[in-house]
Chain A
């Protein structure tokens, strides 16, 4: 019940927003309260049930289409809980960071909450069709958030986003339908380990599902929608867009493709691992000379997401734990960087790296946290991303030694482009006289970024607080793969 309540609170919030008066301050405050509720519930679940998420807990099941065994089945397990929590957190941060949404604020929050509903639902769904429905629910609000509140290139960007991800999700649906119909159930639990399908059938079903998920991630070369969309979106949308949406793809891989079709996915795993490595290296090199700070952060995401693919493809306990954790750690650092890019752009009026420089002297907090985010992104120990990356690489090396070794090179390349970025943006002499006057991040902006920074440090020092939750579920998953 608590799971369902948590998922649908945003829906209530969205309806509430529709009936709010046009009082901007009231709207924002109410939105913060609404967004805080799922976060508090997620925290409650963490403390009350966190140690027991090896299999889905807090489940609820209602019949939907009994003839096809499709049901409303939700529940939380260790694979999804981290992202479930992160969704609640990043939505709240997106509400706080919505300072650049100046028109139609109410409608914006309606969209944001609808998207949150879908995202929370995906990470709690225990039924294939329900998973797909929630997956698609995120699409329309995100499309509108980019298309209405984005910058001058928003419309083409939004369309690109829609076409790509819609293509991905329908392909995925085709696979889901084939799987459910052949196995005569859509319950994820019953379908575990192939639902009785043979290897050939599994392979045929796995292919479209994997394709759909890889577009969502996005895996190079299916990533070309990402840049325009990220760059055109408002800061607040970026937080969710980069922090959560790619994980719909990676989570689908970990939660559905791997355990449900172990034999079907198996022949594709080397390809997924290879794509992971391509993401890591390619993302770093494309980011290296990006003139736009936001584009650089976007491409850094492509690189970091590659570690999830590598870790998941390894089907090794260490790598898989790394992949599950990296979903969360990537969300933390990329949200942090996107908000700070927004803060910097609001002060300097530009995101062009060549026009920035020396900001640390005037903005020690914003600059310092930007450095922290960049250091996290390059996998510096002591910060959360290191933990998940080293585990992903270790697991990757275990199964695919060459891929693991090449991924290690990623730690050189990422240091290269991120330090080069820091050198040009926050260090060096102050680039323009106008920057002498700029102010550091304000209280509201600090509220948006400090929790992210604190979590990055906390998870870097005591990763056990999250790994302990996910580990039993990962162990169960790996045992399915081992037997598959």
Chain B
């Protein structure tokens, strides 16, 4: 068991950034740009403590650190608690979150320099870090939900950081509302579990479900509702529409929240509650197919985007789909392994985009070109990140992506395997398309000609992340890879529970060189095609786009999801609101409106009681009385009803008499 000192240390992991938030929110104006140092200090300590937790869990055979305190104590009515649960899954996630957060906070110091709300930016960044860490360590659904919504709030505030811009303001609102659709589903799922099992703790619910307190279609429904929450947060189909718009936020925010951490929370939730998910086969298949479809769909959307950040945003949606696919087909370790690798290389891709934006103040690929010579560090680290994303051996992304793609084949999900492999091709193509357009050829604008490499405080974190984009996957090289004496540390450490393993009944497969080579070749073909189209003769791509204009437009419009939702939901709810408001004013307001109108004069109130409005009003009250009378009559018998009606009529008349006197 953990000691009090250890408990304090692990509790400090989320609490420190929260304190930084309080300090910066209250004294930010005094600290100005010094706010970053307070923030960096806080998250560094959290990182050290997270590393401690990881070490502790790893050296104790994966025994989790866990404790909790009652939060709301309702005596016989039950208790809701707040606590900490750090197993291998949470420990890895803690380190990833703290590390990426630290990189982003270092980088932001230069990127956000001179911003009018610099200290507020850092304050919210730390509130986000605290909430994300709280989400990771949550042992029960209520605590998870609390932090789940708080990370959403921070995303809202950061996407809308430049709220003077209507596009940023609207994107922030869209992000919050779309994810809240998922949150509402998650909430109902939580209540269903609580109602059936009497608990909100993940472990208790899993046990109770095994014991049969909830099962069959009720279990499936509850699990799928929880999964809809994950769909919203992780921007999966059909709630993916908010993430591309969220690119309106500052780019370091996109790297932290919309690439490495918050959007991964949906995947993390599925992994966290895996013991519950595996009990419903339907739910698992849903996870797998939603993931697979999203991966493919988002990859096609990324093919044609002209804004560098949106290419990466769609790529994130697509990669999150991979992770869901992995979890859905029972590959717990592989799915989470991809989350871990993705956090580094995708954060790096965003920071590269940020570096370009910092240099030339534009998101548009069309205005770039030839940046390789002007920004060599950015170029090379972006190539590394791109290779990692494409899954080229031996970069980090290869190991996790290959594990997912190969498993789909080996577990006989051939449709999913086809989708995944096609996505590999598209991924390699779209990311190198962006890299080639931005960095090769001739500069297309003055800004591109004059671009200079970003300062060291930005390139430093980028190089560190580039290093990790190569090696992070090396902790998970499959056992006996190519006959070498290698141990898969990651798979040994982050294992599904014994219960999940038995329920899924999966057999371990040795690493398949054939499948590995196939996926590398497919990726290389994608890169080659991008090179062929965009480097020697860039006109080729334009010609192709013209020839395939309808498809190009369809992809560019994101399969028309925004247009569809705009009509159905945005206009629909406004029309509904208008109708209800009209009803409220005319039907209800009009009935009693007569009392209001024209009462300003000196003519006394009696006069007004002769107008039609008041008669309507009286009618309305009489009608209500009648309804109540009927109601009472139905449940209690006629005599009582008569008595009640008489009483109410009497009081109504009294009310009018008094009202008239006034």
Contact = CB atoms under 8 A, between A and B. Distances in A.
A360 B163 CA distance: 9
Given A170-B655, A381-B145, A471-B74, A200 B640 contact: yes
8 contacts: A159-B599, A163-B595, A285-B573, A387-B72, A415-B180, A463-B71, A467-B72, A471-B75
Q: For chain A, which range describes its interface: under 10, 10 to 19, 20 to 34, or 35 or more residues?
A: 35 or more
Sort A-B residue pairs by CB-CB distance and give the 3 closest, nearest first.
A317-B77, A156-B596, A204-B640
Contacts of B592: 160, 224-225
A156 B595 contact: yes
Given A317-B78, A408-B188, A166 B659 contact: yes
B647 A171 contact: yes
Q: For chain B, which range describes its interface: under 10, 10 to 19, 20 to 34, or 35 or more residues?
A: 35 or more
A426 B172 CA distance: 13
A332 interface: no
A427 interface: yes
A428 B76 contact: no
Interface in B610-650: 617, 621, 624, 628, 631-632, 635-637, 640-641, 643-644, 647-648, 650
A224 B588 contact: yes
Given A204-B640, A381-B145, A475 B77 contact: yes
B149 A380 contact: yes
B74 A321 contact: yes
Interface of A: 152-153, 155-157, 159-160, 162-163, 166-167, 170-171, 173-174, 178, 200-201, 203-204, 207-208, 211, 221-225, 227-228, 267, 282, 285-286, 288-290, 316-318, 321, 358, 360-361, 375, 380-382, 386-387, 390-391, 393-394, 397-398, 401, 404-405, 408-409, 411-412, 415-417, 419-420, 422-423, 426-430, 463-464, 467-468, 471-472, 474-475, 478
Nearest to B116: A361
Q: Which of B71, B184, B574 gathers the greatest number of chain A CB atoms within 10 Å?
A: B184
Contacts of B617: 163
Contacts of A208: 628, 644, 647-648
A200 B76 CA distance: 31
A387 B149 CA distance: 13
A457 to B, nearest CB: 10
- Chain B's interface: helix, strand, loop or mixed, by majority? helix
Given A159-B662, A286-B580, A394-B194, A207 B596 contact: no
Contacts of A390: 142, 145, 187
A201 B640 contact: yes
A381 B146 contact: yes
Contacts of B644: 174, 204, 207-208
Nearest to B584: A286
Interface string B254-277: 000000000000000000000000
A427 to B, nearest CB: 4
Contact of B177 (A170, A409, A412, A428): A412
B322 to A, nearest CB: 29
B164 interface: yes
Given A289-B574, A411-B187, A427-B172, 11 more contacts: A174-B644, A203-B635, A222-B624, A282-B580, A285-B581, A288-B574, A380-B150, A382-B149, A405-B188, A411-B183, A423-B173
B557 interface: no
Nearest to A475: B75
B154 to A, nearest CB: 11
Nearest to B621: A167
Nearest to A319: B77
Interface string B121-158: 00000000000000000000010011101100100100
B115 to A, nearest CB: 13
A184 B399 CA distance: 81
Interface in B70-126: 70-78
A200 B636 contact: yes
B589 interface: yes
- Chain A's interface: helix, strand, loop or mixed, by majority? helix
B581 A290 contact: yes
Given A160-B592, A171-B648, A380-B153, A289 B581 contact: yes
B521 to A, nearest CB: 46
A200 B633 CA distance: 10
A419 B175 CA distance: 11
B597 to A, nearest CB: 7
A386 B77 CA distance: 18
B200 to A, nearest CB: 10
Contacts of B191: 393-394, 397, 404, 408
B74 A211 contact: no
A380 B659 CA distance: 42
A141 to B, nearest CB: 14
B578 A419 contact: no
B310 to A, nearest CB: 22
A156 B599 contact: yes
A318 B181 contact: no
Contacts of B187: 390, 393, 408, 411
Interface in B542-600: 573-574, 576-578, 580-581, 584, 588-589, 591-592, 595-597, 599-600
Contacts of B591: 224
A146 to B, nearest CB: 12
B213 interface: no
Contacts of A153: 596
A286 B631 CA distance: 28
B170 interface: yes
Given A286-B581, A381-B145, A159 B605 contact: yes
A174 B651 contact: yes
